Structure 1
Amino acid sequence: MLNRWDPFAELNRLTDQLMTGRPVARVFEPPVDIVEEASAYELRAELPGFGPDEVEIEVDKGVLTISGERHREKEEEGKAYRRVERVYGRFTRSFSLPDSVDADAIAAEMKHGVLTVRLPKRPAATPKKIAVHSTEEVKSAA
C-alpha cells in the first residue's frame, strides 16, 4: 500500500517558507502504520480527540482516503495563549490499495484515539482444469 504524496503541495509549502522567511504553519497529518498479515492489511492512524463521527473513510478506484477535521477550541475571555503547538484544521490521507484487497469487506473502528482500518485480502486464485467440450455432432461411420 502506498501513500499518495503530492509533490506540488510540498513545493508550495517550501516556496512560501522561502519567500516569507518564516516557517509556514504546519498541516495536521496523523501518523499511520500499515501492517500486512496473511489474510489482510491493517492500517492504524493516530487520531486523538476524534470521535468516530468526525472521521470519513472512502474507497474509490483503488484508493482509500481517510479525512477529518480538528477544530480549534474557542478562546475564553480573560485567557491568553502563551504557546500553541497542537495543529488544527482539515486533514486528508490517501493510500493506493493493492489489487488483492477486497474493497467490499473493509471495516473500521476507533478505540482510544486510534483508528484501525481492516482491509481483507481476496482469496488467491487457485489453478483449475477446464474441460473442453465439442459442439459438433459426431458422425458415425456407415
Structure 2
Amino acid sequence: MSLVKRTDRLPFILDNVLNADWFGGVATENKIGYNTPAVNVIENDDEFTIELAAPGLTKEDFNLELDNDVLIISSELKKESTDEKSKYTRKEFSYSTFKRSFNLPDSINTVDVIAEYANGILSVKLPKKEEAKVQPKRLIEIS
C-alpha cells in the first residue's frame, strides 16, 4: 500500500485563470504569498519517509498535524522590514504560506511518527505496523 498525496489545488484551467498575474508581471509556479515545496516520498520495508524541501525556514516555522489518517504539513511565515529614508518610510512585506496533505494508509503506526529538520529538508518518518512489514521467507511444515 502506498502513501497517497492529497491535492488542494484547483483544476488546471481554473488554477491558471485565478492565479494569472493580470498586472504585467511574469506568472511563475511560485505565486506571490503561496509556495508549494517539493516533496519526495520514500518507502522501504520498515517505514515511509516524506522529505519536504523548505530552505530558509526553522523547525519552529512548521506545523505538523495528524488528523485521523491525514498528515498535514504547513507553514506560515511573515517578515516585515522597514527602511527609513529622508521624509518617507518604505515597508516591504513578505508573507509565505503552504499546506501539504497526505492520506496515510492503515499500515502506518501513527503513534511513533517522528520529524526532523536539517539542511533545509523536513524529514517525516512514518513507521509501518509490524503486520504490514515485509516478512522473511519461511518454510511451512505440513503435519
TM-score, reference length from structure 2:
0.70
Decide whether aligned partners of structure 1 residues 10 and 55 sit closer, same or farther in structure 2, where only a CA change above 3 A counts: farther
Decide whether aligned partners of structure 1 residues 54 and 18 sit closer, same or farther in structure 2, where only a CA change above 3 A counts: closer
* Residue 96 (str. 1) matches residue 79 (str. 2): no
Q: 1:28–1:88: 8 Å Cα contact kept in structure 2?
A: no
Unaligned runs of 5+ in 1: 81-86, 127-142
Specify the alignment match of 1:13 in structure 2: 15
Letter aligned with residue 77 of structure 1: E
- More deviation in 113-122 or 17-26? 17-26
* Residue 59 (str. 1) matches residue 66 (str. 2): yes
Considering fraction of residues, name the structure with more strand.
2
Aligned equivalents of 1:117 and 1:11: distance in 2?
32
* Residue 106 (str. 1) matches residue 108 (str. 2): no
- More deviation in 2-11 or 42-51? 2-11
TM-score, reference length from structure 1:
0.70
SS in structure 2 of the partner of residue 74 of structure 1: strand
How many pairs are equivalent? 122
Aligned equivalents of 1:93 and 1:7: distance in 2?
10
Aligned equivalents of 2:74 and 2:126: distance in 1?
17
| TM-align CA RMSD | 3.1
1:1-142 paired onto structure 2 within 5 Å:
1-8=3-10, 12-17=14-19, 20=22, 23=27, 26=31, 27-77=34-84, 88-124=95-131
Aligned equivalents of 1:38 and 1:18: distance in 2?
43
Unaligned runs of 5+ in 2: 136-143
User: Who wins on radius of gyration, i.e. which is larger?
Assistant: 1
- More deviation in 109-118 or 5-14? 5-14
SS in structure 2 of the partner of residue 71 of structure 1: strand
